[in-house]
Amino acid sequence: MKLTKTYGHLKKELDMIEHALADAIQAEHDILRETSTQLLQAGGKRIRPVFVLLCGQLGEYNAERVKTAAVSLELIHMASLVHDDVIDDASLRRGKPTIKALYGNRTAMYTGDFILARALENITKLENPAAHRVLSKTMVQVAKGEIEQIRDKYNWDQNLRNYLRRIKRKTALLIAASCKLGAIASGVPEERAVKLFRYGYYIGMSYQIIDDILDFTASENQLGKPAGNDLLQGNVTLPVLIAMKDPSFDRKLRDTFANPELVTPASMVPLIESLKQTGAIASSYRISDLYLQKALKQLDDIPHHIAKHTLQTIAKYIGKRRS
Amino acid sequence: MRVVVLQTSSIEINSVKALIHEKIHNSLIEKHVQIPYLNDDKLYILISILNNTPLPDAKKKNYIIATMLVQMALDIHDGVPETNECQQHDDEEKSKQLSVLAGDYYSSLYYLLLSEVEEIELIGVLAAAIKEINETKMQLYYKMNNEMFPLTMQHIKKLESLLIIRVADFTGETLIRDIAAEWLAVRKLAAARCRRDRDNNVMSSDIWDDHIANKDHQAIASFLKREIKAINNHLIQFPAHLAGLGAELKDTLNESLSDNESIAEEGK
């Protein structure tokens, strides 16, 4: 089953959000309009809007307010992708040339800033200060997380706490904020909104850990990039940290990256095999599962509702994700 | 050129600068990125605008800091190199990456600051200005070589002052607002011309330097003349309580200009 099938019943709402996204990024300048819509047309799972919608449905659902939150969260995510491609010097995203590759860094920077501005302009339609506090704090943390990621590259001596804080900032908080914003937009009581925030946080942690596992276990075809690419870029993820407890792998890793600029996708192949033999993949899945269990636990007190059921299904789907 | 020293404000430039630097402090960014300087002229005119409103000092400070955070975010993104060809070394690569992230970080800080003080409307006002600025940057970038000089100057003038103009509009201040764009443009253009004449082919990341590099003196002088005339027209309408500021604005302009361009003394 595809992830999108778990929230198939949201098609009407998601179509509305898709239209609102397209409207939000209509620029006056031809090329800016083209670059802004390019990423939108490339699609994506729209997982953040989905969480906003589902959590919004657990309160007094107001389609307009929930849509506002969903659109802004997706725009923030899109803007970060455009800038990430400049950071990573990436040529392809979702199998298509990046804005940076087609138009250069300058245009990509302007596009990202334009989309982010539209996200913030749009979210001010929500006058609830709590919504802005949640989102702005999240955005600061996300930016800090990305800066930390640069700092921690090729740092083999970092610990598990570093990694967990990084993925919290990089992935989990924006999903948590999506859940909470949906709840706030629909007037879900604070205590329950906090639980939904935590649900999103735990789901985000689990999702990112599995993403980091898949970097080693999925095929190049599935990933759209060579296996082990994160490690090749110097990103030390959970499977690597666990595998490094094996002295033999630790030595191999440090030897391989003695000169990072000389490491190629081909030289990663034996290293990945060695990592798999340490049992690090299974251990990483176990940690991901712990987060998933915690996510599901947050939903215990929420009364029966199709949105609750979908949040549970998404969590289970994420746990089973293998590609 | 003399750095503007603010004389008429209840808010002091250096204390605002210190607050901003404290907010944006990040050792990794500071190690690898040339942090854009906080433009004294922009701070001066922004503080002057806000001082001409009845807002409490705490509010004024928040408006100034938020606006300057946005300005720095935009400025630092302008420093991201167009291509990656020159990034042979790890340091250059890190500088590029952290310039992108620093801009995003500063943007998030402006949003956080205004969210904490529940200035939701101003968040939208500044966001709309950022949108407009990036539209203008695109126009400038894709017409760089075949656009008429006066139009190019109008675009750059807009880029320099739009955030400040929007904040002035938001607060309802109209008097200083009406000369802010021209005053900043004259100050920046005169300084850029001075650098060009002194250093010949000056290498700079300043947008004014880039756009006047190959322009003749006449074209620049004509633009300045028109802007000075507009400033003069507004300054003579300044009410008595702004007389001191008016004189200060004139002085600072005259310092930037040559004798035959100087701004008119009152009564002439």
CATH of the domain at A37: 1.10.600.10
Nearest to A104 among B83, B103, B111 (CB): B83
Q: What percent of chain B has pLDDT over 70?
A: 88
Nearest to B120 among A106, A109, A129 (CB): A129
The model scores a pTM over 0.90: yes
Candidate from A113-117, B203-207, B263-267 with smallest mean pLDDT: B263-267
Cα dihedral A106, A111, A112, A113 sign: positive
Residues pairing with A96 in the sheet: A93
Chain B residues inside the 8 Å CB shell of A124:
120-121, 123-124, 127
Would you tell me which residues 246-265 of chain B have a C-beta closer than 8 angstroms to some C-beta of chain A? none
Partner-chain contact B28 A87, CB within 8 Å: no
Rounded to an integer, the average pLDDT of A95-118 is 95
Partner-chain contact A135 B111, CB within 8 Å: yes
Nearest to A83 among B29, B100, B131 (CB): B100
B20, HSE (Cβ side, Cα atoms, 13 Å): 28
Rounded to an integer, the average pLDDT of A307-322 is 90
Number of domains in chain A: 1
Condensed to tens digits (0 to 9), the pLDDT of residues A155-186 reads 999 999 999 999 999 999 999 999 999 999 99
| Contact by Cβ (8 Å): B47, B11 | yes
The Cα A248–Cα A245 span in angstroms is: 9
Q: What percent of chain B has pLDDT over 90?
A: 60
Residues pairing with B213 in the sheet: none
Is B82 an 8 Å CB contact of chain A? yes
The Cα A47–Cα A311 span in angstroms is: 11
Candidate from A49-58, A73-82, A203-212, B214-223 with smallest mean pLDDT: B214-223
Residue B74, min C-alpha distance to chain A (Å): 8
Which has more confidence, B208 or A110?
A110
Chain B residues inside the 8 Å CB shell of A112:
104
Specify the pLDDT at position B202.
58
Chain B residues inside the 8 Å CB shell of A87:
96-97, 100-101
* The pLDDT of residue B149 is above 90: no
Chain A residues inside the 8 Å CB shell of B97:
87, 150
Which has more confidence, A244 or B260?
A244
Nearest to A140 among B28, B82, B109 (CB): B109
Neighbours of A149 (CB within 10 A): 20
Minimum CA–CA partner of A142 in chain B: B105
Per-state percent for chain A, helix, strand, coil, to nearest 5: 75, 0, 25
Nearest to B28 among A110, A123, A151 (CB): A151
Residues pairing with A97 in the sheet: A92
* C-alpha pair distances (Å), B178 with each of B5, B10, B175, B233: 21, 22, 6, 10
Rg (CA), chain B: 19
Which has more confidence, A150 or B9?
A150
For residue A137 the two structure tokens come to 């704090």
Specify the pLDDT at position B89.
72
Chain B residues inside the 8 Å CB shell of A89:
84
Which has more confidence, B14 or B266?
B14
Mean pLDDT of chain A: 94
The Cα A174–Cα A179 span in angstroms is: 9
Rounded to an integer, the average pLDDT of A232-256 is 97
pLDDT band at A2 (very low <50, low <70, confident <90, very high): confident
Residue B138, min C-alpha distance to chain A (Å): 7
Residue B24, min C-alpha distance to chain A (Å): 11
The Cα B14–Cα B202 span in angstroms is: 29
Range list of H helices, A59-125: 63-88, 99-103, 105-123
The Cα A154–Cα A307 span in angstroms is: 42
Q: Which residues contact B149 (CB under 8 A, 6 or more apart)?
A: B215, B219, B223
Partner-chain contact A121 B103, CB within 8 Å: no
Is B139 an 8 Å CB contact of chain A? yes
DSSP H or E run through B254: helix B243-256
The Cα A171–Cα A318 span in angstroms is: 14
Is B85 an 8 Å CB contact of chain A? no
Partner-chain contact B127 A136, CB within 8 Å: no
Residues pairing with A92 in the sheet: A97
* The pLDDT of residue B152 is above 90: no
Main-chain phi, psi angles of A97, to 5 degrees: -60, 140
- CA-closest candidate to residue A312, choices A202, A213, A214: A202
Condensed to tens digits (0 to 9), the pLDDT of residues B86-144 reads 555 778 899 999 999 999 999 999 999 999 999 999 999 999 999 999 999 999 999 86
Partner-chain contact A107 B138, CB within 8 Å: yes
Residue B226, min C-alpha distance to chain A (Å): 28
Neighbours of A127 (CB within 10 A): 11
**Cα–Cα–Cα angle for B21, B27, B28, rounded to 5 degrees:** 125
Nearest to B101 among A133, A135, A146 (CB): A146
Mean pLDDT of chain B: 87
The Cα A36–Cα A18 span in angstroms is: 13
Minimum CA–CA partner of B91 in chain A: A150
Partner-chain contact A110 B134, CB within 8 Å: yes
Nearest to B82 among A89, A105, A118 (CB): A105
Interface A-B, measured as beta-carbon pairs within 8 A, has a size of 137
The Cα B55–Cα A302 span in angstroms is: 46
Is B104 an 8 Å CB contact of chain A? yes
Nearest to B116 among A120, A133, A142 (CB): A133
* The pLDDT of residue B8 is above 80: no
The Cα A198–Cα A224 span in angstroms is: 31
pLDDT band at A72 (very low <50, low <70, confident <90, very high): very high
| Domain housing A234 | 3-320
Partner-chain contact B100 A140, CB within 8 Å: no
Is B218 an 8 Å CB contact of chain A? no
| Contact by Cβ (8 Å): B17, B38 | yes
DSSP state of A168: I
Task: State how beta strands A92-93 and A96-97 pair.
Answer: antiparallel
* The pLDDT of residue B199 is above 80: no
pLDDT band at B7 (very low <50, low <70, confident <90, very high): very low
Candidate from A112-126, A146-160, B32-46, B247-261 with smallest mean pLDDT: B247-261
Rounded to an integer, the average pLDDT of A190-195 is 97
Chain A residues inside the 8 Å CB shell of B104:
80, 83, 112, 116, 143, 146
Candidate from A88-97, B68-77, B122-131 with smallest mean pLDDT: A88-97
Residue B159, min C-alpha distance to chain A (Å): 13
The Cα B243–Cα B236 span in angstroms is: 9
Q: Which residues contact A8 (CB under 8 A, 6 or more apart)?
A: none
Chain B residues inside the 8 Å CB shell of A135:
111, 115
Chain A interface test: which of B134, B144, B155 (most A C-beta within 10 Å): B134
Which has more confidence, B190 or A29?
A29
Specify the pLDDT at position A93.
85
Condensed to tens digits (0 to 9), the pLDDT of residues A110-134 reads 999 999 999 999 999 999 999 999 9
Give pairs for A289-293: CB < 8 Å, separation 24+. A289/A206, A289/A319, A291/A202, A291/A203, A291/A205, A291/A206, A291/A209, A292/A202, A292/A203, A292/A206, A292/A316, A292/A318, A292/A319
